[in-house]
Amino acid sequence: MAPELMNRLFAERGMDAVLVPISATAGDLEIVVDGLKHMGNLDGFLVTVPHKLALGRQADRLTGAAKMAGSVNAMRREPDGAWLGDNFDGQGFVRGLLSAGHSIAGKRFTLVGAGGAGVSIAAAILGAGASALSIVDVEHSRAQALVVRLGAHWPDLARASDSPDPASDVVVNATPLGLRETDPLPFAIDGLKPDVVIADIIMKPPQTRLLRESARRGMRTHPGLPMLAEQIPLYREFFRIP
């Protein structure tokens, strides 16, 4: 969906530019990115799952947000030829949640998925004033590592857990589960508060099985598209689009 939104922006601005999707396996990623960096007419590119963590290691420089996340979802060519990586997932998620009328400050959150997007979202949630954050990941060590990283900036607010905190005001799915209709739910929704907000960062399908099942139980839901839509102005600034 990013190419559609960005190409619309280019057209509105009368720019001779285009964003095209490129598919690369993990094994070919380094070769593909090296080739992209050598293209003289390429000003930058966006990065999606599952390559955000790997691309963080291929950037020449990282912004503060990208260093915090340890991953990137956007890279641009600097005037000296170096490649700068940034990550706007967290800002986009927070902006999207707030624009939908949900609160963050003083609220208890559970984040399911401590990958590239999840790390960025975790930092943004705490930066926006959340009172507590439980982090769940199939690799418990990855959740624990994120707790340690966050603790350097927000002591005692984050903890690793095996399942969502039943007292959570918001539970966020930052895993790929839900991209396919046959995927299992990323976490059990039974036992959560009736007024909990279930948020998903998956954009296609716009209504994942998780969101549908939650809505059937009367829970409030928040889809993934606002996270991307709220990143477009950030991309515009990052890529210096007039």
At residue 69, the pLDDT reads: 86
Say what the pLDDT of residue 116 is. Answer: 87
> According to the model, what pLDDT value does residue 240 have?
95
What is the pLDDT at residue 49?
A: 84
- b/e per residue 182-214 (b: at least 16 CB within 10 A): eeeebbebeebeeebbbbbbbbebeebbbbeeb
Residues 219 and 111 occupy one common structural domain: yes
Domain around 112: 90-227
* Beta strands 170-173; 158-161: pairing state: unpaired
Q: Give me the pLDDT at residue 113, please.
A: 97
Domain check: are 13 and 121 in the same one? Answer: no
* DSSP category for residue 179: S
Please report the pLDDT score of residue 152 as a whole number: 94
Q: What is the tens place of the pLDDT at every residue in 85-135?
A: 999 999 999 999 999 999 999 999 999 999 989 999 999 999 999 999 999
| CATH classification at residue 140 | 3.40.50.720
204 catalytic per annotation: no
Q: Residues 52, 67, 107, 193: which is the catalytic one?
A: 52
SS3 49: coil
| The two structure tokens encoding residue 9 | 């922006």
Which pLDDT score, from 0 to 100, does residue 58 have?
Answer: 93
Strand partners, 132: 108
Residue 20 pLDDT: 96
If asked whether residues 143 and 50 sit together in one domain, one would say no
CATH assignment at residue 66: 3.40.50.10860
Positions of the chain with pLDDT lower than 70, given as ranges: none
- Residue whose C-alpha is closest to residue 185's, from 198, 197, 196: 198
